[in-house]
Amino acid sequence: MSSSTAAPAAKPPMRDALVEAAFRLFLRHGYERTTVDDIVALAGVGRRSFFRYFPTKEDVVFPDHERCLADMTAFLAAGGPEHDPVRRVCDAARLVLRMYAENPAFSVQRYRLTRQVPGLRAYELSVVWRYERALAEYLRGRFAGRPDGTLRADVIATAVVAAHNNALRSWLRSGGTGDPGAAVDHALGYVQETFGRPAGAPAAPVWAGPVRDGEPAGRSGPDDVVVLVSRRDAPLWRMVQELETALGRA
Amino acid sequence: MSSSTAAPAAKPPMRDALVEAAFRLFLRHGYERTTVDDIVALAGVGRRSFFRYFPTKEDVVFPDHERCLADMTAFLAAGGPEHDPVRRVCDAARLVLRMYAENPAFSVQRYRLTRQVPGLRAYELSVVWRYERALAEYLRGRFAGRPDGTLRADVIATAVVAAHNNALRSWLRSGGTGDPGAAVDHALGYVQETFGRPAGAPAAPVWAGPVRDGEPAGRSGPDDVVVLVSRRDAPLWRMVQELETALGRA
């Protein structure tokens, strides 16, 4: 994760107390049967204090997503043209992982609760959608004026979130033991490989073209072959582009 | 679209009358201010008839998604091992397009309504999520036992839906004029190119490896180069895999 990310803001103790009381009651009595009155009674505060922090009962289940979304937006806005855009959105997704990994026990409890309560599932989908939009907006800016810019932005943003969530959910289902970082890195690596270019690899391939019966490499046989010759440090996507052109599949 | 897709089931006239009445009132008075009582009064039927077809007022806004989801699930289940999995999920997504394109005026009205009403936006996200899950479940089956099978399934499923929706929403924003099929084909083509292999191209590349100073193709220069020699009919993903291995990036 980049060191340019802001440190998490200090959380007021009353807010923490409300979240803790809410989850204690959700686990004991279930989400639906717990009222805001029950929560404030256990936390020892008034109803107005609850609603100062959480507009609805659902919001207390996801207390850190607003902060995380703000961090993500700030992180993306701080990026310059020197940052590879696909890598940047992968790094932005790691902010979400960090939030979950900060408190594994709480994250696992919430995950289980969200599986059980359809209203919370819907809420979570809206949060996921907002993360996707934040990444897509950034990519749309970076890809502005390029062919298929909005298409690529939308597809890559959802792919990043899907990869992140695939690894995150495996970790949550396993009970939140161990470090989820390696699995998320692996998942995001798949997305970067698929869509991105390796950092600092600006060079283009040298040549790609069709040949018959493998002239350049001494191949013989009945089939047409294709040969790609490229600098090793060229980005993979450029090599693939050259291959596609040579194959007439572009 | 495959001809194996079932024709749309005949819709009972009362159901159509309820949808028509609902949209007339939503456009005139707004979604929030229209009650189920208003809708049944205009359609000339009883409340029980409404709830026979639509569990909630939200459901009348998306009357065809259940049928479309069922069609999609059946279409995917009818696929065999001879179907390229990425192509299959792209074709499945075209079922959603067909539903929208069947009635452009209605689709555009609904799109505008959904932008304005947060509750409908949330409902739509849950529908999109169910399409994604249907595609992902199919791909998880097809990729079972392969490395990163669930990761690739989840990422490709969301990428297909994002690409489809990027093209669909452009069409809806433009007022639903013209045929959205070409734009959706183009968007899904991008996903197929990124993740898929060309149909009927089972052959593997012949050889890929690093060379110094371009020996095989007569290149000279200070940089390391990489050469890929492959049958033209090899799938692109195999060529890329070979390249990655040769480059040490796999």
In this predicted model, what pLDDT tens digit does every residue of A78-96 receive, in sequence order?
Answer: 999 999 999 999 999 999 9
Distance CA A43, CA A28 (A): 15
Q: Is B126 on the interface with A (CB under 8 A)?
A: yes
Window 143-182 of A, Cβ < 8 Å to B: 148, 150-152, 154-155, 157-159, 161-163, 165-167
More confident residue, A24 or B213: A24
What pLDDT score does A11 carry? 59
Residue A241: pLDDT band (50, 70, 90) is: confident
Q: Assess whether pLDDT exceeds 50 at residue B115.
A: yes
Q: Which residues contact B32 (CB under 8 A, 6 or more apart)?
A: B117
Nearest chain A residue to B216 by CA distance is A217
* 8 Å CB contact of B226 and A232: yes
Nearest chain B residue to A244 by CA distance is B236
User: What percent of chain B has pLDDT above 90?
Assistant: 71
Mutate to test the interface with B, among A115, A228, A243 (most CBs of B within 10 A): A228
Task: Report the 10 Å Cβ neighbour count for A27.
Answer: 13
- Contacts B219 to A, Cβ<8 Å: 206, 229
B227 has which bridge partners? A229, B209
Among candidate residues A120, A147, A123, A152, the one with its CA nearest the CA of residue A135: A152
Distance CA B158, CA A131 (A): 14
Q: Which residues contact B170 (CB under 8 A, 6 or more apart)?
A: B180, B183
Window 62-91 of A, Cβ < 8 Å to B: none
Q: Which residues contact B215 (CB under 8 A, 6 or more apart)?
A: none
Helix crossing, B149-173 with B104-116: angle to 10°?
100
Burial class of B126 by CB neighbour count within 10 A (0 to 12, 13 to 18, 19+): middle
What pLDDT score does B197 carry? 54
In this predicted model, what pLDDT tens digit does every residue of B168-190 receive, in sequence order?
Answer: 999 999 999 988 999 999 999 99
From the candidate CATH numbers 3.40.50.720, 1.10.357.10, 2.60.40.420, 2.40.50.250, the one assigned to the domain spanning B64-195: 1.10.357.10
Q: Is B127 on the interface with A (CB under 8 A)?
A: no
What pLDDT score does B66 carry? 92
Among candidate residues A181, A182, A139, the one with its CA nearest the CA of residue A160: A139
Q: Assess whether pLDDT exceeds 90 at residue A45.
A: yes
The shortest C-alpha distance from B153 to chain A (Å) reads 10
How far, rounded to the nearest angstrom, does the alpha carbon of residue B225 sit from its chain's CA centroid? 39
Question: ipTM beyond 0.85?
Answer: no
Residue in A186, A198, A228 nearest the CB of B227: A228
Window 183-202 of B, Cβ < 8 Å to A: 187, 190-191, 193-195, 198
What pLDDT score does B9 carry? 56
- Contacts B216 to A, Cβ<8 Å: 216-218, 229
Q: Which of the 8 DSSP states describes residue B180?
A: T
Helix, strand or coil for residue B8?
Answer: coil
Among candidate residues B150, B59, B170, B160, the one with its CA nearest the CA of residue B108: B170
CATH topology of domain A62-195: Tetracycline Repressor; domain 2 (1.10.357)
Domain extents in chain A = 62-195, 207-247
B207 has which bridge partners? B229
The shortest C-alpha distance from A154 to chain B (Å) reads 6
A47 neighbors A40 (Cβ within 8 angstroms): yes
* 8 Å CB contact of B158 and A158: yes
How far, rounded to the nearest angstrom, does the alpha carbon of residue A111 sit from its chain's CA centroid? 17
Strands laid side by side in the A224-231 sheet: A207-212, A224-231, B224-231, B207-212
Mutate to test the interface with A, among B197, B229, B244 (most CBs of A within 10 A): B229
User: What percent of chain A has pLDDT above 90?
Assistant: 71
